[in-house]
Each structure stands twice: as C-alpha cells, then as structure tokens.
A and B are shown apart, each in its own frame.
Chain A
Amino acid sequence: MKSKKPLIPYAIWMAIFVVIPLIMIIVNAFTDKSGAFTLDNLERIFFKDPTLRYNFLNSLKIALISTVLCLVLAYPIALIMARQKPSVQRLLHFLIMLPMWMNFVLRICSWLLVLQPDGILDVMLRGVGLLSPGQSNPLYMTETAVVLGIVYNYLPFMILPIYTTVAKIPRSLYEAGEDLGCSRWNVLKKIVFPLSVPGVISGLTMVFVPAMSSFVISMKLGGFALMGDIIDNYYKGTGGDPHLGAAVSIVLMFFIILSIALMNRFDKDDDVVLA
C-alpha cells in the first residue's frame, strides 16, 4: 500500500481532461479568429463592452439575492430537522432529497407550467377572483421569477450541508449553555451558529456557483440572459464568437474560484464539505 502507482491512470486522465482543456480555453481567450495573440477579448469584458459588464453585475446581483434567500430559508429548516428524533430526521432528510432527484430540466418545466400565461397560477388566481379573465400574473418573465426558480432548484443544496453540521452538535452543548443561563437566542448565536459555519460555507458555495453561472433558468422564466446563457450564446447560439466566450468563461471561473477561496478563509477547517 506504499505505492503511488495506482494514481498514474488518474493523473494522466486529469492531464487530458482537466488541465489541457483549461489551457485550451485560456489560449482561446487570448487569441482571435485567425489564431493570433490578442488582448481584445479581455479588454472588451473589462472596458469596452458595457453590456457584458452589466450582465456580469446583474448575474452577481441575482446570485447574491438567491443565495441569501436560500440561507435565510434553509437555516431554520436545518435547526428544526436536527432537533427531531433520528427516525423523523431520516424521513425529513429523505423528503428534502427527493425533489433533487427529479430532472433539472423537468423542474424548470414545472415552473413554466405554473407561471406561463394561462398557466396553473393564472387559472387559480382567476378562480378566486384575484385576476380578471384575460389578465395574467405579474410574475412571469421577471427577475423575481428567476430568483424563485434558482431558489427552488438549489434550496436543498443549502439545507443539507447546514443540517449535517448542526446535527453533529452534541445535545450536551445546548444543555450546558442553557444551564449557564444563556437564553435560547444566545445559545443559537454563541454555540450553534459558530459550529455550523463549515456547513453554511459549503451551502453558500453550492448555491452561489450554479446561480452565478445560471443557464436556462433565466431565459425560460425571465426572458433575459445571465452569465451561463451569455457564454452559451457565444458557443452555440446567435453570438458566434467562441474566443470571446472563452474569455468570459475564464473571467467567470477566476471570479468564482476567488470567491470560494475567500469564503473558505472564514472556515478554520480546510476541508470543503461537498454533498
């Protein structure tokens, strides 16, 4: 068991499918159509192209709102879950996992069904008289709908890691705190929260990264493009500029890796809890 040899296949594998592809993207970002070196793509992102900059900031805004919303909604759930009997915990854990197993695209399809004009929501609101016939709900094709879609898709990814860390806190710690005269709120603030930081951080990462690079959700529910859609548009859509697409991908990637690194500084443990 002292041999390093078993690593060799995976090392070669990573070189071909992880390292070289990234180098290829970087090379593409610094070249133009004829293959000559250029800084133009990056200049466009940072200085010349107000649309791209706006889009980046808009994606950031929506990702931050969705991530914070997920955290606020998820934390109480994790606390409540951790307080139950083990069998109940298992059931709740199961119920939270279940929607994640439904296909990503089908989950978006379900929201379309609800929100689209003359969709389920419209029919229901008309039924109770909140909308007059012919009127449609004001949610569809808005930023709110996009945030809703993102929160819906990624909420379980916030609940589960927080729950995992909170559930590990021994009961005796709560009791000790209460015995020493701490209010419930103080127990939460001084004992539970600090101990759950690793879970919170991995939850934040797991929601923020996909939200920031969101693809499909915003186009389907909001009618506007976010970072993922923009990159897709350069490669497979009407944009037709893979080199600029590569530059945008690189910038997005460095931004995200930087923010993950930054968040992890708040966590003394250096393992990132994934899934």
Chain B
Amino acid sequence: MKKLTSIVLALAMLLSAAALFASCSKKETLVVCNWGEYISDGEDGYMDVVAEFEKKFDCKVEYVVAETNETLYSLMKSGSVAYDVIFPSDYMVEKMAKEGMLAEINFDNIPNYKNILPEFKGLAYDPEEKYSVPYFWGTVGIVYNEKLLTPEDLATVENAKDFEILWSENYPNRIMMFNNPRDAFGVALKTLGYSQNTTSEAEIRQAAAKLKEQKFLYYMDEFFTAMPNDSLALGVYYAGDYLTVAAENENLKFVIPECGTNIFNDAMCIPKNARNQTLAEKFINFMLEPEVGRDNAEYLGYSSPNAAALEIMDEEIKDDPVAYPERKDSWEAFRDLPEETNALMRDLWAEILTDNK
C-alpha cells in the first residue's frame, strides 16, 4: 500500500514540476479570439497563419474562438477573459467603442493599413478610423441542398423573393437558423419587409412571432459539419462559409433573396484590457500582408477588403459571384441599436429558444 502511495505522490510531483516548467516559458503570448473557421490554418496547402506569426515574431499565440458577437461581448463584460485581438462585426465595433471597451489603435504600427481599399475605410461603425481594421466582408443568404429539396421548393428557392422557404413544413429538423439574435431577427425582419435596423417594438415582436412559427435547429459552427453531410436540407448562413462547405458537397447551393440581405464587415480590434497591445498591432499588421490576406481569403471564401491581396489572388476566386457579388441597394449593414431595442431582442430571443420544441 505504501509503495502505491509513494508512486502516486512521486508522479504527482513530477507532473506538477512539468506543468510549472511548461507555463514558465519566457515567450511573449498573444491571446487571439476569433470566430470558428475564420483563419487559414494550414489545410489545403494554404499558410498556417498563426504558426507563421509565432515563428516570425518568436511568440506564442493562444488562439480561442467565440461563437457570436453577443457571446464575445458577454465574455468580455464578465471580466473572466483578457483578449489581445478580437474580430467583432460592424455593429459590435460601434457598440464596444461607444462603451469604451476598445483601445485606440496606433496606426503607425500598422503600415499595411494602406492595403485596405478606400471604400472600406471610415465606415459608419468607426467613422474616425480609430478602433478597427477591416478583416473581411460578406453577405448572408439561403444555403440549400439540391438533392434533398422537392422539385416545387427547388423552383421557389432558385428565384427566392424572400427567406420564406425556411418556414417550409417539408423538412422537420433539417432547417437551420442562426443561433444569434441579431442575424436571426435580421432574416425574419427582411422576410416581413422591414429594416434590419428597426427600433419599432411592434416590428420586432412580429419578427419574434415569425421565428417561433418554425422549429429551427439553431446552429452556428455546427453548420460546417451538418450542411455538407446532408443532415440539413436548408439553412441560412454567410456566403464565405457557404463556399467552404460547397467545396465538400456539390449539391449545396447559395442564393440571396430579392428582398435584400445583410452585408457585414468584420474588423480586427484591440480590447482596452489587452495585455500586449504592441504585439496585437503586429498581429493585425501581419494579417494585412498581401500573402496572408490572400491565403485567408482563398481558404475561407470570404470577401477581402485588402487590395494588395486581391491583386495576387486566384482569378477564379476573385470572379466568384458569391464572394464578390454586385452590390444592391436593398442590402443593409447592421448598426448598433439603442439599449432598449437590444434588451427587447434579448428577451424575445430567450423566449424563442425556450419555445423551440
């Protein structure tokens, strides 16, 4: 018995010594919080961006993912995390900047900022270009599986006027909806013919009622496995991610309805409580390098605002109508909404998730 204990004890000592040793490495660390599948990670022959950065600047990157802008916001507010670089979308940049959660970026450390196309600079969410550097932009549309849809539905969806097809009765448990309030409400509001930035309580309540009519699978990152393996018939998601899954399953198609859709800009920002702002700025600058920007864009399928990257990009990808579509007036960018509207949406969202069965 004693022998067993001493072995256990010795093992524990060894382990703890090893753990201490591992955590004491002298390298600088950078904590990056991105969305799932939102950086080129060395697959398909593209650059492993994080590893490349670690090598170039001799540092360690702790790379974590959040699911939605709202989760990112909650996590940062809870005080349990301190990130160095985050990737919020337009309306969230606006909100965080307003609430003083973002650090002002020192653009002297980001010479590659010149690579960004002028039409993506100084947009409404950060008009003075203080807090954010554009990363990608894109659209939202219906993703459907040709093989699984009935001929009538297929005809409807190919010329979709709005997102109504998502409320079809023909595919129980096989239709996905965004698992975040802003995007989901956006889809419902557009279908009802309202603005995605409405502050009218009646319109938002109507949208909530609309969402409750269908039992959706509320997914985010699950999309990447569920869509290509045929377990979903229909869904609504981001164009760039559609291109990723379409490469795995040729039956998947994408369409933007006539009623218009959301056009989003995701940006790179540095939170105020970042521990290593200088390294964070180096990271952002690195992301704007032409080769890095190209590999990210080609691997992810999202639309790049980086002129230098676009120049060296594969022609076929650059001309893809899904990734680089012709913009329409009916497309809207999200704006930060007043707190009452956000609160209303949050409450209704809780109701929707509770009701969903």
Q: Do chains A and B touch in the complex (CB under 8 A)?
A: yes
Shortest A145–chain B CB gap in Å is 10
User: Closest chain B residue to A146 by CB distance?
Assistant: B357
Q: Is A238 an interface residue (CB 8 A)?
A: yes
Q: 1/0 per residue B235-250: CB within 8 Å of A?
A: 0000000000000000
Verify B357–A222 contact, CB threshold 8 A: yes
Q: Is A117 an interface residue (CB 8 A)?
A: yes
CA of A238 to CA of B353, assembled, Å:
11
Verify B357–A240 contact, CB threshold 8 A: no
Shortest A242–chain B CB gap in Å is 6
CA of A229 to CA of B173, assembled, Å:
21
CB < 8 Å neighbour of B346 from A223, A229, A239:
A239
CA of A242 to CA of B349, assembled, Å:
16
Given A143-B357, A224-B356, verify A239-B350 contact (CB < 8 Å): yes
Given A54-B354, A238-B349, A241-B346, verify A118-B229 contact (CB < 8 Å): yes
CA of A141 to CA of B339, assembled, Å:
33
Sort chain A's interface into a size bin. 20 to 34
Verify B75–A223 contact, CB threshold 8 A: no
Shortest A113–chain B CB gap in Å is 12
Q: Is A175 an interface residue (CB 8 A)?
A: no
A229-270 residues at the B interface, CB under 8 angstroms? 229-230, 233-242
**Secondary structure at chain A's binding surface: helix, strand, loop or mixed?**
loop
Q: Is B158 an interface residue (CB 8 A)?
A: no
- Find chain A residues with CB under 8 A from B75 CB: 236
User: Closest chain B residue to A235 by CB distance?
Assistant: B78
Verify B70–A237 contact, CB threshold 8 A: yes
Shortest A249–chain B CB gap in Å is 13
User: Closest chain B residue to A241 by CB distance?
Assistant: B346
Verify B78–A236 contact, CB threshold 8 A: yes
Verify A51–B357 contact, CB threshold 8 A: no
- Find chain A residues with CB under 8 A from B357 CB: 141-143, 222-224
Q: Is B218 an interface residue (CB 8 A)?
A: yes
User: Closest chain B residue to A234 by CB distance?
Assistant: B74
Verify A242–B356 contact, CB threshold 8 A: no
CA of A235 to CA of B357, assembled, Å:
24
User: Closest chain A residue to B350 by CB distance?
Assistant: A51
User: Closest chain A residue to B78 by CB distance?
Assistant: A235
Q: Is A49 an interface residue (CB 8 A)?
A: yes
Q: Is B165 an interface residue (CB 8 A)?
A: no
B48-81 residues at the A interface, CB under 8 angstroms? 68, 70-71, 73-75, 77-78
User: Closest chain A residue to B339 by CB distance?
Assistant: A33
Verify B354–A55 contact, CB threshold 8 A: yes
Q: Is B33 an interface residue (CB 8 A)?
A: no
Q: Is B330 an interface residue (CB 8 A)?
A: no
Verify A238–B354 contact, CB threshold 8 A: no
| Residue of A49, A233, A240 ringed by the most chain B CB atoms within 10 A | A240
- Find chain A residues with CB under 8 A from B74 CB: 234-240, 242
Verify A136–B173 contact, CB threshold 8 A: yes
B183-222 residues at the A interface, CB under 8 angstroms? 215, 217-218
User: Closest chain A residue to B352 by CB distance?
Assistant: A51
- Find chain A residues with CB under 8 A from B346 CB: 238-241
Verify A141–B215 contact, CB threshold 8 A: yes
CA of A259 to CA of B68, assembled, Å:
37
Given A142-B357, A235-B74, verify A116-B231 contact (CB < 8 Å): yes
Shortest B31–chain A CB gap in Å is 17
Given A117-B231, A237-B74, verify A140-B350 contact (CB < 8 Å): no
Q: Is A134 an interface residue (CB 8 A)?
A: yes
Q: 1/0 per residue A114-154: CB within 8 Å of B?
A: 00111000000000000000101000111100000000000
CB < 8 Å neighbour of A51 from B78, B229, B351:
B351
Q: Is B259 an interface residue (CB 8 A)?
A: no
Given A55-B354, A237-B71, verify A242-B217 contact (CB < 8 Å): no
User: Closest chain B residue to A220 by CB distance?
Assistant: B222
Q: Is B148 an interface residue (CB 8 A)?
A: yes
- Find chain B residues with CB under 8 A from A224 CB: 353-357
CA of A140 to CA of B229, assembled, Å:
17
User: Closest chain A residue to B351 by CB distance?
Assistant: A51
- Find chain B residues with CB under 8 A from A240 CB: 70, 73-74, 77, 346
- Find chain B residues with CB under 8 A from A223 CB: 215, 217-218, 356-357
- 19 A-B contacts (beta carbon < 8 Å): A55-B354, A117-B173, A136-B173, A140-B173, A141-B173, A223-B217, A224-B353, A224-B354, A224-B355, A225-B353, A233-B350, A237-B70, A237-B74, A239-B74, A239-B349, A240-B77, A242-B74, A242-B77, A242-B78
- A residues neighboring B (CB under 8 Å): 49, 51-52, 54-55, 58, 116-118, 134, 136, 140-143, 222-225, 229-230, 233-242
> Known contacts A236-B71, A240-B73; can you find 6 more A-B pairs with CB under 8 A?
A141-B173, A141-B217, A225-B350, A235-B78, A238-B74, A240-B70
Q: Give 5 nearest A-B pairs by CB, closest first.
A: A238-B70, A117-B231, A51-B351, A240-B74, A224-B357
